[in-house]
Homo-oligomer: A and B are copies of this chain.
Amino acid sequence: MKIKELALLIEGTIEGDDNVDITDLSGIESARHGDLTFAMDEDKLTLAETSQTACILTTKTSRKSIKTLIRVHNPKLAFLIAYNAFQGKTLERSFIHPTAVIADSVVLGKNVRINAHVCIEDDVVIGDHTTIESGCVVKKVCKIGEHCHLYPNVVLYENTILKNQVILHGGVIIGSDGFGYVRDQGSIWKFPQLGTVVIEDRVEIGANSTIDRGSLGCTIIGAGTKIDNLCHIAHNVKIGKNVIMAAQCGIAGSTVIGDNVTMSGHVAVIDNVTVGQNVSIGGQSGVIGNIEANTSIWGSPARGVGKIKRQLAVLAWLTKNFSVLSKIVKEKNTTSS
């Protein structure tokens, strides 16, 4: 790609030699001759100058360089846009591996790619430009949209619905039975799990995460939401749009997570509560009640971030002053008795 073409695409201004061709993109450490890289600050810029990079994306305000620069508002975002432009040029053709087992009733869109040892059961519909990698299993009546990507060994239980541009990483299980039982006279009976899962547009789900089907209704993951590895979403949970959920979080049954919520890793949310929009939840928090929108919480059980920080500081102070405190309490006990 010509550097002028690139600068236009990312709305940047070229500084230095504009007769450069970009052949690939890479991080500073691994940049080869002809590569484009990016530098968010001047230390990184210095590092990039010592590399073989052809051109550096950097901020509007950073110093001049011996290398060709493209100055943009957000170098990381510009790098991403450039990357997508490069990727877009290698759109892959339709391909179905001969070992894939695909039921006769399956409907395939254009340019669908299905790799080795995949199994697709009856009445599944798969949209255009979708890729299903080796070892995936798609059970009956699933509907998969356009431009989806299922990495190896993903499992979709029956009736699962993926809308468009959904990415599921290796080992993800969607639509497994929810954890629903009825206790009666000392025995535990499995309650039927008849619902489905709907994964909306542009959702990405990390490796080995699991999303249970609704019990009688639907489990929903809202558009644009990103879920990291090894997360668990229980039956009938509704997750809003553009939620960011870091690794190993778990959301219990029927809970509602509002739009734009951000969770650090290892967070647990109990069943049947509502977490409002834009809530930010610190790592390892345990959410045991409804949470008001636009708040920041932390701890197990979760409290306001300011509150729990004060409580931790007070506990540390009390421990430091324990000998005095115990003397005061002892004297009070003596004078009271």
Contacts and interface: CB of A to CB of B under 8 A. Distances in A.
Given A137-B153, A325-B329, A207 B314 contact: no
Given A208-B208, A250-B266, A268-B284, A177 B173 contact: no
A80 B191 contact: yes
Contact of A268 (B76, B139, B248, B325): B248
B210 A229 contact: yes
B27 A216 contact: yes
A117 interface: yes
A34 interface: no
Contacts of A151: 155, 157, 176
Nearest to A243: B188
Contacts of A300: 283-284, 300
Interface in A279-321: 283-284, 286, 288, 300-301, 307, 310-312, 314-319, 321
Interface residues of A, number: 104
Q: Report which residue of A79, A176, A333 has the largest number of chain B beta carbons within 10 angstroms of its beta carbon.
A: A176
A22 interface: no
A208 B176 CA distance: 10
A268 B283 contact: yes
Contacts of A310: 319, 322
Interface string A201-238: 00010111010100111000000101011101010000
Interface stretch (A9-17, A52-60, A123-131, A178-186): A178-186
A242 interface: yes
Interface string A98-136: 010100000000000001110100000000000001110
Contacts of A189: 77, 80
10 contacts: A26-B194, A27-B216, A99-B101, A135-B137, A155-B171, A170-B176, A173-B229, A270-B283, A310-B319, A318-B325
Interface of A: 25-30, 74, 76-77, 79-80, 83, 97, 99, 101, 115-117, 119, 133-135, 137, 139, 151-153, 155, 157, 167, 169-171, 173, 176-177, 179, 181-182, 184, 186-192, 194-195, 204, 206-208, 210, 212, 215-217, 224, 226, 228-230, 232, 234, 242, 244, 246-248, 250, 252, 264-266, 268, 270, 283-284, 286, 288, 300-301, 307, 310-312, 314-319, 321-322, 324-329, 332-333, 336
A-B interface, 7 closest residue pairs, ranked by CB to CB distance from nearest: A27-B216, A137-B152, A119-B134, A173-B207, A170-B173, A176-B207, A155-B170
Given A80-B190, A177-B204, A207-B210, 7 more contacts: A74-B184, A179-B247, A188-B242, A265-B268, A310-B322, A315-B315, A327-B332
